[in-house]
Amino acid sequence: MEDKRFAVLIDADNVSAKYIKYILDETANYGTATYKRIYGDWTKPGAAAWKDVLLENSVTPVQQYNYTVGKNATDSAMIIDAMDILYSGNVDGYCIVSSDSDFTKLSARLRESGMMVIGMGERKTPKPFISACNLFKYLDVLAESEKKAIGLEEDRDQDRDGRNNSTGNGKSKAAITEDQEKSMTDLSVIKLAIKKMLAEASGEDQRMNMGEIGNRLAKRYPDFDVRNYGDTKLSKFLKKFDFLRIESGGEGGTSLWVSLRSEEEPPEEENIPLEKKKRPYYRKRNKT
């Protein structure tokens, strides 16, 4: 099966250079990055951090001066290039990397043309841009997940006397993080969607394949990713919900099926086979 071809377009004004690895690695999960371009005013001192990572990852920088104060010409350059690439017919999808809502209309237009659009940005990204994409990935969440996986989780409370809990604008870091996460789909919304899907499932047992549940959630909520909620796999994410029953089935018990647990039903062991469980066999010990 041939990989999908993606155009990766990065807004350097709204994305940090530390995320380049996560941008390209995540894109590779869905296809091949045939275009890799980044847009910004490279005469500014703040753009210097991108220099080394662009060379290492073969990302093409596109120079765009700001013609006047207060106007962002970088966005316009990205939009024009995105449409030029669309009409060339050389790609199957786009990865738009920015935390700016100005790309909402662009993402919607690309989807209208049959393109798959993957958005990437931080948790502060406005909801309209997230909803305009097929999928949306939070770069700061991806970075945190990898650090946890390799045992290098950052200590957010390293200054316990409170000196580092203020940002200088009268707002605590915790409050700012809460504001940034308002656009992320709430866990309660995900739970309700799962219950509704299973309640509407066909068949007497009203169960669904776990992979199908994951696909439907991703289509309904572009930013759905189990890593947003602290898990690495969909199975671990769903096993945390006590209202779900998870059973194994198929040849070798490799596929997992999910159904709603009745209120009277006691908790069961994880991955119970669909066939009836045998009673444990105990060998009698000879008396001496």
In this structure, what CATH number is given to the domain that contains residue 145?
3.40.50.1010
Residue 120 domain flag = yes
Q: Does residue 171 have a pLDDT over 50?
A: no
In this structure, the answer to whether residues 28 and 93 fall within a common structural domain is yes
List alpha helices for the chain, DSSP H: 20-28, 51-57, 73-88, 104-112, 127-132, 139-149, 173-180, 187-199, 210-220, 234-239
CA distance 98 to 16: 10
- Tell me if residue 272 falls in helix, strand or coil: strand
Q: Does residue 147 have a pLDDT over 60?
A: yes
pLDDT (average), residues 185-207: 81
Residue 160 domain flag = no
Q: What local confidence, expressed as pLDDT, does residue 23 receive?
A: 93
Query: Would you give the DSSP letter of residue 30?
Result: T
β-partners of residue 61 are: 38
pLDDT (average), residues 135-150: 84
In this structure, the answer to whether residues 169 and 236 fall within a common structural domain is no
Residue 48 domain flag = yes
CB 14 within 8 A of CB 120: no
Range with top average pLDDT, 60-64, 110-114, 246-250, 258-262:
110-114
Q: Does residue 181 have a pLDDT over 60?
A: no
In this structure, the answer to whether residues 29 and 118 fall within a common structural domain is yes
Sequence-ordered list of residues with C-beta below 8 angstroms from that of 151, at least 6 positions apart, any chain: none
Residue 223 domain flag = yes
Residue 208 domain flag = yes
In this structure, the answer to whether residues 26 and 111 fall within a common structural domain is yes
Which of the four pLDDT bands, split at 50, 70 and 90, describes residue 174? very low
| % the chain with pLDDT above 90 | 29
Other Cβ atoms closer than 10 A to 205: 13
Please state the pTM of the whole predicted model.
0.70
Name the residue type at position 226: V
CA distance 166 to 133: 34
**Number of compact structural domains in the chain:** 2
Q: Does residue 82 have a pLDDT over 90?
A: yes
Convert the pLDDT of each residue in 251-285 to its tens digit: 656 788 888 887 666 555 544 444 444 445 555 55
Q: What local confidence, expressed as pLDDT, does residue 78 receive?
A: 92
In this structure, the answer to whether residues 174 and 195 fall within a common structural domain is no
Which of the four pLDDT bands, split at 50, 70 and 90, describes residue 231? confident
In this structure, the answer to whether residues 122 and 207 fall within a common structural domain is no
CA distance 190 to 208: 16
**Residue that the structure tokens 């941008």 belong to:** 23
- Boundary of a domain, candidates 145, 180, 215: 180
Residue 282 domain flag = no
pLDDT averaged over the chain? 78
In this structure, the answer to whether residues 11 and 106 fall within a common structural domain is yes
In this structure, the answer to whether residues 211 and 108 fall within a common structural domain is no
Residue 194 domain flag = yes
In this structure, the answer to whether residues 206 and 134 fall within a common structural domain is no
Which of the four pLDDT bands, split at 50, 70 and 90, describes residue 97? very high
Q: What local confidence, expressed as pLDDT, does residue 182 receive?
A: 60
What is the dihedral sign for C-alpha 56, 57, 60, 66?
negative
In this structure, the answer to whether residues 100 and 238 fall within a common structural domain is no
CA distance 210 to 11: 36
**What is the CATH classification number for the domain harbouring 201?**
3.30.420.610
Selection from 42, 37, 41 nearest residue 23 by Cα: 37
In this structure, the answer to whether residues 176 and 218 fall within a common structural domain is no
β-partners of residue 117 are: 94
CA distance 141 to 225: 10
In this structure, the answer to whether residues 130 and 169 fall within a common structural domain is yes
Residue 197 domain flag = yes
Q: Does residue 238 have a pLDDT over 80?
A: yes
Backbone dihedral region for residue 31 (phi beyond 0: left; psi -120 to 50: alpha; all else: beta):
left
What is the domain extent for residue 227?
187-273
CB 119 within 8 A of CB 130: yes
Higher pLDDT, 7 or 226: 7
